[in-house]
Amino acid sequence: MADTAVVAEHTLRTFKDHLPVLQVLVPFCTAPLIVLLGSRRLAWPLAFIASATALVISIMLMWEVREGGYVAYTLGGWAPPLGIEYRVDAANAFVLLLISAIGTVVLPYAYISIKDEIKARDHTLMYACWMLCFTGLLGMVVTGDAFNVFVFLEISSLSTYVLVAQGAGRDRRALTAAYDYLIMGTIGATFFVIGLGMLYMATGTLNMADLADRIADQGANRTVRSGFAFIIVGMGLKVAMFPLHLWLPKAYTFAPSAVTVFLSATATKAAIYVVMRFTFSIYNPDFSFTNNTLEIIFAPLAIIAMFSASFVAVFQTNFKRMLAYSSVAQVGYILLGISLLTETGLTAAILHMFNHGITKALLFMGVGAYVLRSGGAFYTQIAGLGRKMPITSGAVVIGGLSLIGVPGTAGFISKWILVQAALERAPDNAMFLAIAVAIVLSSLLAVVYVWRAFEVLFLQEPDPNSTATEAPLMMLVPMWIMAGACIWFGFSTEHLYEFAAQAAQGLLDGSQGMMISTGQGGAH
């Protein structure tokens, strides 16, 4: 018995040592396994098991770094900065949890949605691409190597183009949307890798921690500043930062419903994390060019996005497209929080990133349920479905209220803290008082487009020939898990806020604290 206990303890310790690489390795190995087995019956269970395992790993990693510090993992037995390192601190543990939780919760919903919208012969490859996209997003967040960010960015992007194109079975415009996304994504990746090349030319390293040290020691010369500009533009395309957002509404509108749910809640959030990591950990707001970029470029573009995208959303006649433009506006709130250059502002940005993820996943799941029963997402097709599908529509109402930022929902907390962050800087500069007012006014625009959707669902008469019934249980359960999260994090805010504040403090300090644990892979 004692020997068994020792073996179990050693196995658990070994498993914990390899958590950072297992976070990526589990879904990465699942993708080719799904293809090799070639079984439509096994594709979904394998994808779900891999996602659930990734969720457990992310929770364990978050628990490890809950009190500060970081977990490091070196690959191939080469010590950093020569070798590739995975490094997990409070900031990326937070994002890992969001991505893995969304990926796990959405898959039961996707089982029904994909079955309805995509031909059966494509299901196996569909789930393989899903796992590759999942791998790429997790890898972008967990890696401590700048070039590895580019590698995982391409893995997620290439699989995303295929996932979006799968919507062509219902609407051929999905092919155009995927092509536009491919072109814009390729341009963004090119800018990003050019920026990395400039950084390598100036510093001779690609390890993020080493990059930060060398830039701090050498100062920011012209090459380093140019590299920052290329990196921000490249990731700005991936983030869908205004005015680099034009690919997003089409991709979200014409992609299969389950794909839209997954991407809207995770893809832009991983890209925003990369922007934060480069801006605060590798570079530093103390550099005048970084400060100027955030205050002179990020802040005005974020405010323009908050108003212009919301204004466009008001006039949409397709529920999915309306929510897509809303996503551009919500990205504006996150970027505005980053541009405030305060711990409160960055905390609000990280919180809103999480809250928007669960809120938008819920709303797009609701739209997918309407698509399943009515055949489309146009307002004329879903009119009156609020009365025919009350359980689905109840969850959609909660998501809509969270999107507006009504007190008692998750969306309110992050917007309220964002207003506080703007007011904190108002005594020094009256412009920030105007920014606080802008946050409130743009939220009123959200009331308009969300109310218009509610009016269509509940106040308009349904098609007399409609035979729509309530969504299947496998779609309702994930929706109400997200609806419950929107309510839960609207009232129980303490732990989420504390972790977001810890992540923000770590990013602003430019330090990840002391090492908690380390692991190694490969030969030594």
Q: Is residue 378 part of a domain?
A: yes
Place of tokens 């205004």: 242
Secondary structure letter of residue 318 according to DSSP: B
In whole angstroms, give the CA distance from residue 204 to residue 213. 12
State residue 523's pLDDT score: 39
Task: Tell me if 247 sits within 8 A of 184, measured CB to CB.
Answer: yes
With respect to residue 288, please indicate whether it lies within any of the assigned structural domains. Answer: no
Angle between helical axes of 410-425 and 390-404 (0-180°, round to 10): 10
* CA–CA gap between residue 47 and residue 336 (Å, rounded): 36
Structural domains counted in the chain:
1
Instruction: Assess contact for 439 and 419: CB atoms under 8 A.
Output: yes
Are 189 and 259 a contacting pair, CB within 8 Å?
Answer: no
Of 130, 128, 166, residue with least CA distance to 36: 128
Among all chains, which residue has been given the structure tokens 């207003």?
Answer: 419
Contact 338, 294 (CB under 8 A): yes
Distance CA 169, CA 126 (A): 13
Residues 156 and 266 sit within 8 Å (Cβ to Cβ) = no
The DSSP 8-state label assigned to residue 166 in this structure reads: G
- Full DSSP string of 126-156: HHHHHHHHHHHHHHHHHB-BHHHHHHHHHHH
- CA gap 41, 473 in Å, rounded: 19
Q: Which residue has the tokens 């990746």?
A: 189
283 found inside a domain: no
* 318 part of a folded domain: yes
Crossing angle of the two packed helices 90-117 and 343-374, in degrees rounded to 10 = 10
In a domain, 58, yes or no: no
Task: Name the β-bridge partners of 519.
Answer: 73
What is the domain range of residue 418?
299-491
Residue 262 lies in a domain: no
Query: How far is the CA of 6 from the CAs of 9, 18, 60, 64, in angstroms?
Result: 5, 19, 21, 22
**What single DSSP character describes residue 342?**
S
Per-residue pLDDT of the chain (524 residues; tens, 9 = 90+): 555 554 444 454 566 778 888 889 999 999 999 999 888 889 999 999 999 999 999 999 888 887 777 888 888 777 777 788 888 888 888 899 999 999 999 999 999 988 888 888 888 999 999 999 999 999 999 998 889 999 999 999 999 999 999 988 888 888 999 999 999 999 999 999 999 999 988 888 888 888 888 888 777 688 888 888 899 889 988 888 888 888 889 999 999 999 999 999 999 899 999 998 888 888 876 666 667 777 788 888 989 999 999 999 999 999 999 999 999 999 999 999 888 888 888 899 999 999 999 999 999 999 999 998 888 889 888 888 888 889 999 999 999 999 998 888 988 888 899 998 888 887 777 788 888 888 888 888 899 999 999 999 888 887 777 777 888 999 999 999 999 999 998 888 888 888 888 888 888 776 555 555 566 664 33
Strand order in the sheet with 70-74: 85-88, 70-74, 515-520
Residue 519 is given by DSSP the state E
Task: Assess if residue 290 is contained within a domain.
Answer: no
Flag whether 184 is in a domain: no
Q: Which two tokens stand for residue 484?
A: 């419950």
Q: In this structure, are residues 262 and 106 in contact, taking their beta carbons and an 8 Å threshold?
A: yes
Dmax (CA) of the chain: 72
Q: 398: closest CA among 162, 390, 474? A: 390
For residue 321, give the nearest of 391, 255, 263 by alpha carbon.
255
d(CA 194, CA 190): 6
Closest CA to 257 of 352, 131, 171, 385: 171
Distance CA 231, CA 210 (A): 18
d(CA 485, CA 411): 11
Contact 128, 35 (CB under 8 A): yes
Residue reference for tokens 């040290």: 213
| 6: CB partners within 8 A, 6+ apart | none
208, 145 contact by CB (below 8 A)? yes
Helix, strand, coil share of the chain (percent; to 5): 80, 5, 20
